[in-house]
Chain A
């Protein structure tokens, strides 16, 4: 359930100017001003988790804590930075909440940008480059984002750079205290085949994120998803990935080099994609940021 501005403002005087922005997943997002800068306040109503959200409270808190740690450790310009309001649990009117802050990014999501029509090859290549850098920074300490999708890619108005949001579902392969396979998380149309495979007992790695990025880029370049059609179940999507051949990106005007890069990102077997985000970026940059 959406958390009211009144509740947010009562968290702490620092966030007294909180204004509602949006909600998604388990979080309600507010904007507040502090030290002459805008910040995003992200709040979760923990009393809601076991009911509407159907998740154990400890899992939710662990996930948010992990997201905060990732934001704190990362200095990438293509990932949001942690804000001044420290992560904390609070109880307001008897309700338990968890809240933290991060850089407020003023801009449009890739989803919103795509709503105006398919994107030029230059913009698609810029998204590929910037989100590739974000994934490279995440993968250095062996972190898998697990929820790369157009809604989580934002173009920052100030410098036009693309930023990857919401590493809340990230999986830290270096942290052996967390199960590597865990539950299935992410957003189905952007799941990698290995994410979709409930029987997959092996760890996801960076190539899963590269696949999700590839699907997002394909959609941006062509205006349609390579496999998913409205109303498909997970099983139908998995079948489509196994059997369907996506339309050639070149028919949508995508230059050869960039088309080849995206086609490789969305290969169903991880070993046919790129070995790492660094490998992906090197290939992308081998031909002038993917524009041929």
Chain B
């Protein structure tokens, strides 16, 4: 399922996404909303879209950052910020979990997301502390009649570099797969700022290890929500992940420490982007989409989901606001998610995804053959293929 991830300037995008069934639910975050606004929004969504998936990200990946950099997050009385090593060790884990979960429960969420401790690696002191936090959250949930009625996901938040080694990922998975609870809410803090699709070929191994982690948690019966995701999140769905959460700004399609503390205003407006289902890529509307339409390649890059009809009918000059861009992106992601998760086994799903990627690569080659000049080629596609191949080897050998 595709979940809309909260961000700056929400402007009714989440409600519109639910209304149009572009998303199956949403994740609100403490970072972007004042407490009274978060409460009102959560209760409104619960009232109008009761059957939807609704979660609140406790943003525990922020607890080591200074409060002044964290927007509205620090306004919530149960959050922590600026914690150093000692501060982390001194955390009262049960109190931390109790306050966060009780607060979420008041917002009529459909699933609880327990706070955790962000990890640098899978084998340092934080990794042990995180397991203790998960146990504490489960204990808190089980002790409360009302909390017990809701599924409990644990925040598993880590630096991308933690995925460097399959061995340490595997060893940590041996422990994670004994954690009580219903699932995990994953956030990966990326080491690079402009690679929301994990397209860097040097990082294919890390992407493969991320897929291995999602696959293993899913194999063990956990629900896995991969948050701060871009189109690359489809790979996690193919290997068994249940949901991906993505928003409208690039900062909610990739988590990067440089984005923390970033002002919501200032700077130039981001360019209008179009999510192409056949190409599994974002394309700048005014340049690449315009050039491809002019080259007569409409059917190669434009499908018939979401707002594709506008591009087909009105061309690249159509009115394409941030809201349209986001809704179309969610529609494309939902359509792809439904297609990819159709087959019953991971092997079949990965095979299907590989065929979609191969088709996108073939389209890219055709574009090159037509000598259409593009600002940005979808280079992430070959990295995805590489990562999926490594993933297949990893699950066959188990290490």
| A140 CB to nearest chain B CB (Å) | 13
Tally of contact residues, A, Cβ under 8 A: 11
Residues of B within 8 A of A (CB): 170, 173-178, 216, 219-221, 395, 398-399
User: Can you list 10 A-B pairs with a CB-CB distance of less than 8 A?
Assistant: A269-B170, A270-B174, A271-B170, A271-B176, A271-B177, A271-B220, A272-B219, A272-B395, A275-B221, A279-B221
A269 touches B176 (CB 8 A): no
Contact B221 A268 (CB under 8 A): no
Q: Are A271 and B216 in contact (CB under 8 A)?
A: yes
Interface centre among A267, A272, A275 (most CB of B within 10 A): A272
* A→B interface (CB under 8 Å): 202, 205, 267-272, 274-275, 279
Whether A275 and B220, one on each chain, are in contact in the complex, defined by CB atoms closer than 8 angstroms, is: yes
Of the candidates A272, A274, A275, the one whose C-beta lies within 8 Å of that of B398 is A272
Contact B399 A202, beta carbon cutoff 8 Å: no
Secondary structure at the A interface, as helix, strand, loop or mixed, is loop
CB pair A270 B177 closer than 8 Å: yes
The count of A-to-B residue pairs whose CB atoms sit within 8 angstroms is 32
With both beta carbons as reference points, the residue of chain A lying nearest to B220 in the complex is identified as A275
Rounded to whole Å, the gap between the CB of A149 and the closest CB of chain B is 23
| Residues A202 and B174 in contact, CB atoms below 8 Å apart | yes
B399 touching A268, Cβ below 8 Å = yes
The listed residue (A205, A269, A279) touching B399 by CB distance below 8 A is A269
| B398 near A267: Cβ-Cβ < 8 Å | yes
Which residues of A have CB within 8 Å of B216? 271-272
Chain B residues within an 8 Å CB radius of A279: 220-221
| Complex CA–CA separation, A268 to B220 (angstroms) | 15
With contact pairs A268-B398, A268-B399, A269-B398 given, residues A275 and B170 touching in the complex (Cβ less than 8 Å)? no
Chain B residues with CB under 8 Å of A268's CB are 398-399
In whole angstroms, what is the CA distance A275 to B395 when docked? 16
Interface centre among A268, A271, A272, A275 (most CB of B within 10 A): A271
How many Å lie between the Cα of A270 and that of B170 in the bound state? 9
Give the 8 A-B CB pairs with smallest separation, nearest first: A271-B173, A271-B177, A275-B220, A269-B398, A270-B174, A271-B174, A272-B398, A271-B216
Q: Are B221 and A205 in contact (CB under 8 A)?
A: no
Smallest CB gap from A264: residue in B: B219
B residues near A267, Cβ cutoff 8 Å: 398
In the complex, A269→B213 CA distance in Å? 13
Tell me the bound Cα distance from A272 to B397 in angstroms.
Answer: 10
Contact residues in B for A272 (Cβ distance below 8 Å): 216, 219, 395, 398
Complex CA distance for A274 and B220, rounded to whole angstroms: 7
CA distance A205 to B178 in the complex (A): 9
Q: How far is the CB of A211 from chain B (nearest CB, A)?
A: 12
Contact across chains for B221 and A269 when beta carbons are under 8 A apart:
no
Chain B contacts of A271 at CB under 8 A? 170, 173-174, 176-177, 216, 219-220
